[in-house]
A and B are shown apart, each in its own frame.
Chain A
Amino acid sequence: MNIKNLYIALCFLFIGNSFAQQTPAPSQTSDVTIEGGTAHLGNGKVIENALIMFSNGKITHVGNANSKIARRGTVINASGKHIYPGLIAANTSLGLAEIDAVRATRDFDEIGTMLPHIRSIIAYNTESRVVETMRPNGVFIAQVTPRGGRISGTSSVVQLDAWNWEDAVMKKDDAIHVNWPNALSRGRWWLGEDPALKPNKNYQKNVDKLVSYIKEAKNYLNGNRNSKSLPYEAMEGLFNGKQKMFIHVGGQKPITDAITVMKETGIKNIVIVHGQEAEKVADLLKSNNIPVVLERAHRLPNLEDEDYDLPFRSAKILSDAGILVGLGMEGDMERMSTRNLPFYAGTYAAYGLDKEKALQIITENNAKILGIDNVTGTIQVGKDATLFISKGDALDMRTNILTDAFIQGRKLSLETHQTKLWKRYSNKYKNN
């Protein structure tokens, strides 16, 4: 047996271990201890030679393996490895479509303009083959978000190992998503107009329309609500603070407009999504306690004259400006690319951000922004045992190789449609 074949054999050994596992994983019944390894807690702190224990789905101990307390349940030796909280993807349409080009599988974009009542959670497909590919990369939680319209609809936060959407849900109807009017518009080339982006003449009109819609909703909610309005009812949480408004907007002026205008309408919690140039309005964001859900690092500069690495540096720039930064997924191929979430954070680390801070973006910060930081986002006693062990640095594609993974203490299968094909065809060549 040469080295290559030995390697393949070893791989199968590992797969063989997890193959028989039930998916989704059953509830945690016996205690688990992770001993050794470097624990990255998600709040910026690191424990070398860590000792982490969890039972009944909750973390019961976080400390150093030098301490002489009793190890409970199954002990996993993680020495030489790295332990992370489960990664959280904000603003993704994960589970709302299976194959982009097949219309029948697309469920993320409803017709209409003002759609606060459209709820992503009921379309979220727990059996999606795309969803299962998240787990081997450490992405365990996602904010499932609809697209399109001026008000796209209502998102929910789910964990990615579930039988059905009710099982999956961590925070139902957490936020309403608004696509802020474009300050620039493109000429209609088919009518012979210049296709370049120019100031949108309808910008203010579109802003006014949106604002008056929100005001109408508020008036309705303050009134006697005779003859129910589904869209307005869906917005109640925005005014009583139970729901956040995620405003998808970029550009210094539009961000400023969005925050000022929405604050005036009485919206309690605002999150800025995308947020190009947000650093230029850092004070406004900080004074209103508004976080920014940043875009993926792997994108091209927005303008020809921009630094080639500006998209890579944006997290560092915003973070230095004192803004709470999260990371979202909206864009091309966003569902299948959600598994690359750790690598976007890694890129932000490569371009200036401290590595633990980069991790924090996709753990604690995203948890805070999605309002689930009371149960997850960091490795801390009392929180869900949603965490994983990687052979190396999980933010680097070179070393992100998971050996063990848990959501709420449940030991996950890392098997997917893709690993099955890998195994099946590797076997074909081995046996033929």
Chain B
Amino acid sequence: MSAQEYFPTNSGVKTSKNSSYAFTNATIYVTPKQKIKKGTLLIKDGKVVNVGKSVSIPKGTEVIDAKGKTIYPSFVDVYSTFGIAKPKRESGFNKPPQYDASRKGYYWNDHIRPDVDASKELKFDAKKAKELLKLGFGVVNTHLDDGIMQGNGVLVALNPNSSAAYRVLNERSGNYLSFSKSRKSRQAYPTSRMGAMALLRQAYLDADWYAKGNAKNKDLALEALNKNKDLPQIFNAGDYLNDMRADKVGDEFGIQYTIVGGGDEYERVNDIKKTNATYIIPLNFRKAYDVSNPFLANYISLSDMRKWNQEPSNPGILAKNNIPFALTTHDLKSKKDFSKNLQKAIKFGLDKTTALEALTTLPAKILKNNKIGNLNTGSYANFLITSGDVFDSKTTLFENWVQGQKNVINPMDIKDITGNYMLYINGNNYDLEITGKGAKQTGTIKKGDKKVNSKFSFKDGWIQIAMNEDGKFTRLTGKTINASNVMQGTAIDNSGNESTWSASKKVVKSDKKKDKKKKDSETPEVVAVSYPNIGFGNHTKPQQETILIQNATVWTSDNNKVLENTDVLLKNGKIAQIGKGLSKRGAKVIDGTGKFLTAGIIDEHSHIATSAVNEAGHNSTAEVTIEDVVDPNDINIYRNLAGGVTSIQILHGSANPIGGRSAIIKLKWGENADGMIYKNTPKFIKFALGENVKQSNWGDLQTVRFPQTRMGVEQVYIDYFQRAKEYDEKKKSGKPYRKDIELETLAEIINKERFISCHSYVQSEINMLMKVAEKFNFNINTFTHILEGYKVADKMKKHGVGGSTFSDWWAYKYEVNDAIPYNAAIMHNQGVTVAINSDDAEMSRRLNQEAAKTIKYGGMSEQEAWNTVTINPAKLLHLDDRTGSIKVGKDADVVLWSGNPLSVYSKAEKTIIDGAIYFDLEKDLAKRKAIKAERAKLISMMLKEKIKGAKTQAPAKKVKKLFHCDTE
């Protein structure tokens, strides 16, 4: 296939080469589910001509007897970067940030690069091809892994004996996406996952607008995006939370991505199933941790240990849940591990048919290509010849044919000479044991019990042995005869004398082998998944119950009412009754004697339970939302529950004057993100003022983004609101308009459908923002932090804005020099609705104590102090009709405290959300015990692994990133 037919020849005469082969007597997998025994595979010119039990073989065909061999379609890696190098990242060291795109004539964001054509980047890498051929792959779908929209991929046959003219099967095989930015550009936006999601959405909207011919400019990126629309859409998400995030964006635009997962999909397999996506799953299983040093083993989290144990079960679990997936070598540092890991996955429950499908027909289906991954007539002649079951570690892969061209992996004609032999040399008897596979078969010699130093080689059918017996050398050469049972040849001794030698195979009893086989087929123990899948996760979901709390002191947060010796009945997730001597029929009774019952704490300003906080790439990012990135696995959710917190607002950070939208959640530990976010959630957005948005403390290079002064901040707001107003008017007029997610969001504010919580410190700008809002005829809902609120409390009251503040933080930057702990009390005294918030994962779990500081600083009453963490934040979040106080009909979000809830000495004993107990002091103790036991169990499993000689990895402590407002 070296020269195209119409190419002239100047090196000799034109010769046609035979390209027709028949493989007979083989077990042939035409597809994973269609197996032919003793069949024939006929190929010609790189394609399958026929396959079946009785295939007539035309004259001139080379016939290869494949008796005892198995033929499979070669594997397809649908997610590869074969032959396409990742570009080098442009260094940003000591450079000011870049906010505008570098590319001209393309989209406004450099990370949207659907115009990239991978077929132009492809450089066939023969070495890598060989590596993949060895693993059984015949075709890879490769792409340039760079950017959020990455452009089209290219389908390549791993045919080293050919040229691009033949081996490129499809130069526009798929359209690739990811959440990671391009390395070729330093353009700042997006800095976060939620920014990437927003960018994808806006790009789709803009592409649509462009396709309809509405744009005045030419945009090569959007043109390519529209052109690639009908290609398979392959999204590299990387872990199961991101799988769901990618799927969410796709669904919004009617696109079903094929998702490249992370191998952790088993942790929430029901959610994964609901995406209805086809997955591409890596087989990157972590090594066992080296736990031999107990000091260090302590640092490994149970969740990491579990992952080691559970990861290999991922493919099997997906299969059992009928989630379609292909397997990929992607993510494997050493591609060689692929086969080993695949065998492991099978051992952990993946059935072989699904495994084969995941490597053949499934990837073909993803690529909408029926000519690969099967051996039907007309398909590419890409196939494997093996000694047997391709997933058995003892099987030899002989040949991997690609496009009808042979690639020898292990010579097929090498005899299997393994076994125990009796070796005779000059009347001396030795034991010869030959082990190994193919060309790597090797022998060891013993005389009696004593090992004889020797060197063995087996090549091209010749056996060569050099022996050293106490300094006396004997050299043997010879061949096998009679199948593989006898070998004989010439021996040359120390003095150069020739004689003959022979060896004959001993009959072996196979007991030992069977034993081993039995051991191997045992399914390994996999520890149970919890929700979330970490130490303090729930194995069973907390259930809503009918609960009667008897005889407690009830702080209602309802008009400051305190009810002594009172019962509260929770039913159907609501507060059903409050009174004395309530009937306990059917209820779980909790004795509240000597204890205090309150509404659950609400944190107006939190940054826990999220994978991202700031989208800092623009000065306005109203298009992003924390709801996209809620992280239900954060241990701080549980710790917050232990501090009596039931609801939080996860706010965007304060990197820009107009930040992103909030997620308001209930801390329903164990639920997924959607299960935590409030139904009919009030709509909020974060704004910010002051040093952070001016980037004052970000270093001297951060001086190029507008605004750099408080004066500029005002203009940002007026500009954006003016544009949003004009946008909204145009939209309402019915004229065609370019849908802009950012302006849509801002228009919601003007239309009083979305509320602002604004990070604020200094009185001048607080005053300013109220004036800007008034100009556009809406109100600021909440000033959060608001440490100089006490200076403008009267103006705040007049405007109707609430204040959510720290109890006593100050002095961490210049603008909080005048922050005083009396702030809450002064604002409260002026009639402002005041909440105490945390902005901190540690403080949030003892907001009761922070509320108590308002008594010390400024003399608020106990009930007023308590309101600052219950009903007041509920009011500020527009949730006061549902939660925040103990009142009949409201959500059963309550906390039972061991004593006065404001006291440093009190503990939350039970934290209840929607009538289900999410934290219980006693159950917490049981969880601690369970963690200890499970750690011990996994540690001994890993020790076994280490002692067995498996490679291990050094212990590592998972580092949880804690977010504050300022976190990038």
Contact = CB atoms under 8 A, between A and B. Distances in A.
Interface of A: 4, 7-8, 11, 98-102, 129-130, 184, 186, 194-199, 251-253, 298-301, 303-305, 307-309, 333, 335-336, 339-340, 343, 346-347, 349-350, 395-401, 418-419, 421-422, 425-426, 429, 432
A215 B76 CA distance: 64
B808 interface: yes
Given A101-B697, A425-B791, A425-B826, A298 B958 contact: no
Contact of B639 (A298, A308, A396, A401): A308
B821 A308 contact: no
A422 B822 contact: yes
B696 interface: yes
Nearest to A402: B856
A101 B813 contact: yes
Contacts of A422: 790, 820, 822, 826, 857-858
Contacts of B791: 425
Contacts of B904: 343, 346-347, 349-350, 395-398
B301 A98 contact: no
Nearest to A97: B811
A199 B955 contact: yes
B299 A98 contact: no
Taking chain B's interface residues, is the majority helix, strand, or loop, or is none over half, making it mixed? loop
A303 B830 contact: no
Nearest to A420: B820
A96 to B, nearest CB: 13
Given A300-B841, A398-B856, A401-B856, A197 B295 contact: no
A356 B524 CA distance: 54
A309 B829 contact: no
Contacts of B298: 303
Given A196-B958, A298-B843, A421-B818, A336 B812 contact: yes
B809 interface: yes
B811 A335 contact: yes
B794 interface: yes
Given A184-B957, A350-B907, A418-B820, 7 more contacts: A298-B842, A300-B639, A305-B534, A307-B924, A336-B809, A396-B904, A396-B905
Contacts of B845: 308
Given A198-B956, A349-B905, A421 B820 contact: yes
14 contacts: A100-B813, A197-B957, A198-B956, A303-B298, A303-B301, A304-B302, A305-B931, A333-B812, A346-B904, A347-B846, A418-B820, A422-B820, A422-B858, A432-B794
Contacts of B928: 307
Interface residues of B, number: 70
A195 B829 contact: no
Interface in B254-302: 295-296, 298-299, 301-302
Contacts of A303: 298-299, 301, 957
Interface stretch (B651-659, B719-727, B847-855): B847-855
A195 B959 contact: yes
A129 B814 CA distance: 13
A340 to B, nearest CB: 7
A197 B841 CA distance: 20
B954 interface: yes
B856 A308 contact: no
Contact of A426 (B810, B812, B829, B906): B829
B691 interface: yes
A340 B812 contact: no
Contacts of A7: 859
A4 B829 contact: yes
B960 A98 contact: no
Contacts of A184: 299, 957
A426 B638 CA distance: 40
A100 B843 CA distance: 19
B422 interface: no
A101 B814 CA distance: 7
B885 interface: no
B959 A196 contact: yes
A184 B791 CA distance: 47
B922 to A, nearest CB: 13
B447 to A, nearest CB: 47
B900 interface: yes
Contacts of B822: 418-419, 421-422, 426
Nearest to B905: A350
B698 to A, nearest CB: 10
Contacts of B691: 101
B960 to A, nearest CB: 7
Interface in B693-742: 696-697
B46 interface: no
A398 B534 contact: no
A305 B301 contact: yes
Nearest to B953: A198
A129 B811 contact: yes
A198 B958 CA distance: 9
B963 to A, nearest CB: 13
B146 to A, nearest CB: 15
Contact of A396 (B301, B826, B862, B903): B903
B597 interface: no
B817 interface: yes
Contacts of A307: 924, 928
A346 B902 CA distance: 13
B810 A186 contact: no
B966 to A, nearest CB: 10
A395 to B, nearest CB: 7
B663 interface: no
Interface string B944-968: 0000000000111111101000000
B1 interface: no
Nearest to B811: A336
